[in-house]
A and B are shown apart, each in its own frame.
Chain A
Amino acid sequence: SQTIHQWPATLVQPVGSPLSLECTVEGTSNPNLYWYRQAAGRGLQLLFYSVGIGQISSEVPQNLSASRPQDRQFILSSKKLLLSDSGFYLCAWSVRNRPTEAFFGQGTRLTVV
């Protein structure tokens, strides 16, 4: 069976510090991978998606970047965090030809102080 791992679950970081959130998927090959952000009480905003190694599509220009160094690994990064980067970050994957059914990780709650 397929599983998705996302860590850490919670993170408190000072303004100006770097960020690295990691997500890995097991049990499937060549998945679509996604990073979403969810503000409190709001919907999901797509940040990045990837259809293959090294292929990253950015939805919204901002203080974040993403990388896919391996087929089932997706990393969300920032060189210098801003207060506005606080939120609930969700990694997800889907089968290549079935993007409607995305499987989400448990999320990382990031607080920038």
Chain B
Amino acid sequence: GENVGLHLPTLSVQEGDNSIINCAYSNSASDYFIWYKQESGKGPQFIIDIRSNMDKRQGQRVTVLLNKTVKHLSLQIAATQPGDSAVYFCAENIEDTGRRALTFGSGTRLQVQP
């Protein structure tokens, strides 16, 4: 089964508000956690990743927080825009298995209301 899952299947926010998308994981051997965005009918697009020895990483309008104590990952989007509407996936990379691929969670749909 999957090691990565999400708390909320759908999140609706007002344009301009901040969005927080959450993800829980169970595998402590993950060395990287990643967020992807998938717009309708397209392939997923890399947003940001965070190494397991970090707590926070910031990108352009996005921040990823990692809480290893409770095995929780979140993606914060500042000043959410209509173009942010998409499905967001968290994923993990486990380096010690020799596997060279990511394990994806089931996704959260973000709907931005004008």
A interface with B by C-beta (< 8 Å) = 32, 34, 36, 42-46, 49, 51, 57, 59, 90, 92, 99-107
Interface residues of chain A: helix, strand, loop or mixed (majority): strand
B interface with A by C-beta (< 8 Å) = 2, 32, 34, 41-46, 49, 89, 91, 93, 99-107
How many Å from the CB of B45 to the closest CB on chain A? Answer: 7
The count of A-to-B residue pairs whose CB atoms sit within 8 angstroms is 59
How many Å from the CB of A113 to the closest CB on chain B? Answer: 20
How many Å from the CB of A66 to the closest CB on chain B? Answer: 12
Among B32, B101, B103, which residue has the most Cβ atoms of chain A within 10 A? B101
Complex Cα gap A34–B102 (Å): 10
Query: Taking A99-B93, A100-B49 as contacts, is the C-beta distance between A46 and B103 under 8 angstroms?
Result: yes
Complex Cα gap A105–B38 (Å): 12
Query: Taking A42-B107, A43-B104, A51-B100 as contacts, is the C-beta distance between A103 and B46 under 8 angstroms?
Result: yes
